[in-house]
């Protein structure tokens, strides 16, 4: 796998005049000559602007007590509270998001937002990043949707498709309160999203709008955000429990069920 193959795959998606939010696992590509840097370059040359989540869950703190029905067990997280680290703009994105967010964040042209848990980084996408607030962490995705942005999923499925959270919020689905450690205090973060492990249920409803490129063992798929938002909102309107997971011990999905 190399830059040229990746670039023609990205170009096949036909998104030269669109900006994208990208989620990726690079492992199925096997060896990539010049690694994630080559992929990022091929990507940036094939679309208008790129944003990626650079989330930092390791800043999170769980208090002893808090509001009810908040999809959380209070007082249980002593270990994680002790391990929590204060957010700084230089804090790396969590490794569970793969290598691409960190590669992009470290690019000389990249900008990053300052939300202590749900930050985004972008290249050529400043005006999307700028609209994020502490209250509306997914506003950059909303702005992207308004300008015909797409979500690109590279070897990953909809369980990591953060944009669906943005659509859930538009559909009026409940959100949660969380807490993040800063250098000098703990910050309340409103509108923290629910659980995403049931999100693959969306796939069949957006199949005809999804563009797909196969590369041996690997694949890239892309979905227009406007359409994705429309479909998610319709599904939740018809069934307030749509896209929730089926784990009986899922605190956030259960909290959504409790108020539906
Ligand atoms: Zn769940």
Question: Which tens digits make up the pLDDT trace of 7-57?
Answer: 999 999 999 999 999 999 999 999 999 999 999 999 999 999 999 999 999
Q: What per-residue confidence (pLDDT) applies to 76? A: 76
Distance from Cα 119 to the centre of ligand 1, integer Å:
22
Distance from Cα 249 to the centre of ligand 1, integer Å:
8
Q: What is the mean pLDDT of residues 104-121?
A: 98
Q: What per-residue confidence (pLDDT) applies to 260? A: 57
Report the C-alpha gap between 257 and 197 in whole angstroms: 15
pLDDT averaged over the chain? 96
Distance from Cα 48 to the centre of ligand 1, integer Å:
34
Q: What is the mean pLDDT of residues 180-205?
A: 97
Distance from Cα 160 to the centre of ligand 1, integer Å:
13
Burial zone of 120 (CB within 10 Å; 0-12 exposed, 13-18 middle, 19+ buried): buried
Residue 68 pLDDT exceeds 60: yes
Q: What per-residue confidence (pLDDT) applies to 237? A: 97
Report the C-alpha gap between 210 and 25 in whole angstroms: 19
Q: What per-residue confidence (pLDDT) applies to 160? A: 98
Report the C-alpha gap between 165 and 153 in whole angstroms: 15
Report the C-alpha gap between 31 and 97 in whole angstroms: 19
Distance from Cα 244 to the centre of ligand 1, integer Å:
6
Report the C-alpha gap between 232 and 31 in whole angstroms: 36
Cα 158-164-166 angle, rounded to 5 deg? 155
Residue 235 pLDDT exceeds 60: yes
Burial zone of 251 (CB within 10 Å; 0-12 exposed, 13-18 middle, 19+ buried): middle
Distance from Cα 216 to the centre of ligand 1, integer Å:
32
Q: Where does 107-234 show beta strands of DSSP type E?
A: 111-112, 120-123, 150-154, 176-181, 186-192, 211-215, 218-224
Strand (E) or helix (H) holding 60: strand 60-61
Report the C-alpha gap between 101 and 31 in whole angstroms: 19
Q: What per-residue confidence (pLDDT) applies to 258? A: 87
Q: What per-residue confidence (pLDDT) applies to 19? A: 98
Computed from CA positions of residues 162, 97, 27, 18, in that sequence, does the dihedral angle turn out positive or negative?
positive
Q: What is the mean pLDDT of residues 95-119?
A: 97
Distance from Cα 124 to the centre of ligand 1, integer Å:
34
Distance from Cα 3 to the centre of ligand 1, integer Å:
38
Distance from Cα 247 to the centre of ligand 1, integer Å:
6
Distance from Cα 1 to the centre of ligand 1, integer Å:
36
CB 221, CB 160: distance < 8 Å: no
**pLDDT by residue (tens digit) across 116-169?**
999 999 999 999 999 999 999 999 999 999 999 999 999 999 999 999 999 999
């Amino acid at each position: 796998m190399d830059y040229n193959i990746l670039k023609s795959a990205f170009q096949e998606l036909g998104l030269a005049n669109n900006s994208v939010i990208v989620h990726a696992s690079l492992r199925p590509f096997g060896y990539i000559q010049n690694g994630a840097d080559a992929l990022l370059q091929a990507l940036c040359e094939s679309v208008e602007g790129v944003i990626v989540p650079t989330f930092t869950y390791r800043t999170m703190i769980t208090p002893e007590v808090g509001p009810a029905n908040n999809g959380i067990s209070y007082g249980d997280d002593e270990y994680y509270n002790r391990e929590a680290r204060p957010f700084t703009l230089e804090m790396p994105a969590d490794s569970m998001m793969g290598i691409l967010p960190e590669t992009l964040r470290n690019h000389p042209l990249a900008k990053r937002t300052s939300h202590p848990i749900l930050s985004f980084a972008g290249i050529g996408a400043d005006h999307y990043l700028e609209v994020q607030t502490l209250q509306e962490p997914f506003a950059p995705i909303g702005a992207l949707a308004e300008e015909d942005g797409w979500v690109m999923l590279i070897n990953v499925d909809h369980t990591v498709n953060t944009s669906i959270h943005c659509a859930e919020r538009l559909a009026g689905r409940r959100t949660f309160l969380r807490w993040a450690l800063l250098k000098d205090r703990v910050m309340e973060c409103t509108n923290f999203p629910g659980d995403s492990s049931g999100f693959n249920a969306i796939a069949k409803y957006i199949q005809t709008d999804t563009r797909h490129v196969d590369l041996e063992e690997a694949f890239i798929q892309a979905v227009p955000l406007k359409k994705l938002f429309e479909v998610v909102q319709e599904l939740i309107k018809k069934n307030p429990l749509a896209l929730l997971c089926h784990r009986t011990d899922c605190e956030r999905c259960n909290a959504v069920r409790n108020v539906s």
